[in-house]
Amino acid sequence: VAAALFLALCVATGASAAMRPVVLLHGLMANYEAMSHIKGWLEQDFPGIYVHNSEIPKPYSPDGRINSVLIPMDKQAELLNAQIEADGNLTDGFDLVCHSQGGLTCRAYIEKYGGSKVHNFVSLAGPHQGVYGVPIYNGECPDWKCPELAELMAKWAAEGWNVTFAQYWKDPFNYARYLATNDYLTAINNERADSQNATYKRNLVGIGGNLTLVMATEDHIVVPKESAWFDFYAVGQDKTIVDMTETDGYKGDWIGLKTLNEAGRLQRLAAKCTHQDLPREQCKSVVYDAIIKPRVGGQLP
């Protein structure tokens, strides 16, 4: 009898100690391979952990690099939700680690489809307050060198082009036009006073753990780099950065950032890395070891 009880206790303990899976998502002009280093490190450090390394799928191309540019941002969140719902290993919850544009897609997923399954959400250089730059080209051709790119982006954004980075373009010199013509970022940030969605706030606050926002200090792709922390340029110029806590969105708690912060569930961390290297070997010690690893590997309920 004692042996049977001991065996039953061991089985019960093993069942309750199942690790939370991790869902990964790449960024712009990337595919699942961009997050493969993190996947490998997780599987090495947490034997038996389940890692779902997601990729934005068809219809445009079998390669997520093309789809990440051409599939509208709202549709990307819908496709991510479909992948998660179809994966039975994620039914009981998971941690979410997303890079660059993927950080926006993952946040939109949480806001639109419910945060109850997500425990910790780690966003690596996600442009949460938008960009006033062209992410694909900024590394090689910054705005001061190629002003025509900024002009082209303003045109695409105002005309509602589906090129993804046009959907989170925010012109500080014409904020009124941004509010009037941008239907993606204004929505997931609840920036339009007449159409704020309380569900977005409820779902983001409803994640089971913490929201961790990581800024790459050497970022020349997301402009300004502080957008990763929900900071952005002051209206009317592109020099002074307004801290998240001083924005109307934070003060009004439009998507729950103030609620999370005051509860100690929002962390804003800096990593001395370039944008592209955040998920790579070059930044393993300051990103994976210092930030991601301590926030994953927990037990499922």
Express each pLDDT in 240-296 by its tens digit: 999 999 999 999 999 999 999 999 999 999 999 999 999 999 999 999 999 999 999
pLDDT exceeds cutoff 70 at 132? yes
Q: Please tell me the least confidently modeled range out of 134-143, 160-169, 213-222, 250-259.
A: 134-143
pLDDT at residue number 251: 98
pLDDT, greater one: 241 or 156: 241
219 among known catalytic residues: yes
Length of the chain: 301
Evaluate whether 128 touches 228 at the Cβ level (below 8 Å): yes
pLDDT at residue number 96: 98
Whole-prediction pTM: 0.87
Tell me which of 119, 219, 227, 231 is the catalytic residue. Answer: 219
Q: Rounded to an integer, what distance in angstroms lies between the CA atom of residue 63 and that of residue 87?
A: 20
Nearest to 278 by CA among 13, 63, 100, 150: 100
Tell me which of 100, 119, 123, 231 is the catalytic residue. Answer: 100
Average pLDDT over residues 189-206: 97
Tell me which of 52, 99, 128, 275 is the catalytic residue. Answer: 275
Q: For the chain, list the domains and their CATH numbers.
A: 22-131+196-292 (3.40.50.1820)
Most confident of 113-117, 171-175, 235-239, 240-244: 240-244
Query: Counting runs of H as helices and runs of E as strands, what totals does the chain give?
Result: 11, 8
Angle at 132 between CA 259 and CA 26, to 5 degrees: 70
Nearest to 105 by CA among 66, 79, 137, 73: 73
As given in the structure block, the two tokens for residue 25 are 């998502």
87 among known catalytic residues: no
* pLDDT tens digits along 84-127: 999 999 999 999 999 999 999 999 999 999 888 999 999 999 99
The crossing angle, in degrees rounded to 10, of helices 101-113 and 198-205 is 100
pLDDT, greater one: 140 or 285: 285
pLDDT at residue number 15: 37
